[in-house]
Structure 1
């Protein structure tokens, strides 16, 4: 575990795999930390430099006063990669992480040679929806949203397992100000126009039982990028890397091989 001091924010990150390998950067969803990808990593091929981080207000990163703008989250990712001297990475973003991926690719194409837009969209929900969730969380804490969130995040089968408690606990233990700040960032983001101007290898991944970003919404965003590919993971919800890590890893590995990122 390491901490990058970027001035206004300190980001917790970790680097696994080959320190000289092809870089793959993972950005996680609202209400989770970098452990989101733990089950996925053992299924990935060797030779990759795997970088994960907690976005501002989450995990072990610092919690600046909110609300946050998506531009600040994109700038955090940009500065972290500059801090680590990373160029030409494949950026894997899930949910809000996928929004960060889109914004980063638009801003700094020198940093991103390919992106995976997982369970995400150019625009997620409406300002009214997010205003309601923010109000509920302010009144009752993240706990007030937890049960409904678990239903959107996970398939019925997964919700019947004891593992559900792990993810519910992770959600409710995130800093409230960070959760609210990032919720505001999602609320204020509409990337349809900038994302439609992107020209880089892109893979979209959706879960068939995702109640937060349904497959058609993910597909609509992915198809904004010419030449992109879309894959559906069945029997999985909003976090398919948790429910189906082997299937998720197979799709990611095939994409990395297709664009020549494994042999770099």
Structure 2
């Protein structure tokens, strides 16, 4: 575990694997920290240099005053990757992490040679939806939204298991200001035009029971980029790396091989 002070925020990050390994950067979803990727990491090929981080207001990173802009989140990530010396990574972004991926690829294509857009879109939700979500967090805390979030995150089968408590606890332990701040960033983002100008290898991943970014929404975004590919993971919601880690790791590994990253 390490901390990097960008000047605007202190980001908690972690680097696993050899310094000369092919870099793979993971950016997680709203309401989760870098442990989101723990289920799949043991299933990936050895020798990768894996970079994970907690975005502002999440995990062990600091929490600047809300609201946040997507531009600020993208700049946070850009500065971190420059700090750890990453170039030409494969960037795996889930939900808001996938929005960061799109924006960073537009801004700094030297950093990203291919990307995985998982359970994300060029535009997620509506300003009214996010305003209601932010109001709920500000008045009742994240706990007031937690049960509804679990239903969007996971399939009905997973919601009936004891493991659900791990992820519910992760959600409610995030700061309310961080959750609201990143919600504002999503609310203000529409990447349809810039994303449609991208030209790099892209894999889209969706969960068949995703209540936040349904498969058709993910596919619509991935289809903006020529020659992209799409994979649907069944019996999974918004976090298929948690519900179906073996399939997620296999699909990701196949993509890394196909772009010559391993």
> Which TM-score tier does this pair reach, normalised by the shorter chain?
over 0.9
Question: What SS does structure 2 have at the residue aligned with 1:14?
Answer: strand
Alignment of 1:129 with 2:129, yes or no, is: yes
Are positions 1:220 and 2:225 aligned together?
no
Q: Secondary structure at the match of 1:87?
A: coil
Residue 254 (structure 1) aligns with: 254
Does 2:180 correspond to 1:180?
yes
Task: Quote the residue 1:154 is aligned against.
Answer: 154
Partners of 1:144 and 1:216 lie apart in 2 by 29
Cα offset for 1:8?
Answer: 1.1
Partner of residue 6, structure 1: 6
Distance 2:62 2:69 in 1: 16
What residue in structure 1 maps to residue 50 of structure 2?
A: 50
2:240 matched to which residue of 1? 240
1:168 aligned residue:
168
Gap runs ≥5 in structure 2: none
SS state at 1:249 partner: helix
State the Cα distance separating 1:148 from its structure 2 match: 0.4
Does the alignment pair 1:120 with 2:120? yes
SS in 1 for 2:66: coil
Contact 1:58 1:179 (8 Å CA) reproduced: yes
Alpha-carbon distance in 1 for matches of 2:213, 2:256: 24
Partner of 1:68: helix, strand, or coil? coil
**For each residue in 1:124-176, what CA deviation from the matched residue of structure 2 results, as whole angstroms up to 9, or x when unmatched?**
00000000011111110001110000000000110000010111111011011
After TM superposition, give the deviation of residue 19 of structure 1 in Å.
2.1
**What is the aligned-residue RMSD (CA, Å)?**
0.5
CA distance in 2: counterparts of 1:227 and 1:202, whole angstroms:
8
Q: Which runs of 4+ in 1 moved over 6 A?
A: none
- SS of the residue aligned with 2:13? strand
SS in 2 for 1:39: coil
2:150 paired with 1:142: no
C-alpha distance in 2 between matches for 1:157 and 1:22: 36
Distance 2:211 2:229 in 1: 21
- Tell me how far apart the structure 2 counterparts of residues 19 and 243 of structure 1 sit (CA, whole Å): 30
Structure 1 CA distance, aligned partners of 2:38 and 2:16? 11
TM-score scaled by structure 2?
Answer: 0.99
Shift of 1:20: 1.1
Unaligned runs of 5+ in 1: none
1:84 lines up with 2:90 in the alignment: no
CA contact 1:56–1:178 (8 Å) conserved in 2: yes
Give per-residue Cα distances to partners, 1:175-207, cap 9 Å, x unaligned: 111000000000000000000000000000000
- Specify the alignment match of 2:209 in structure 1: 209
Number of positions where the alignment pairs a residue of Structure 1 with one of Structure 2? 262
Which residue of structure 2 aligns with residue 41 of structure 1? 41
- 1:65 pairs with 2:49: no
Contact preservation (8 Å) 1:18, 1:46 = no
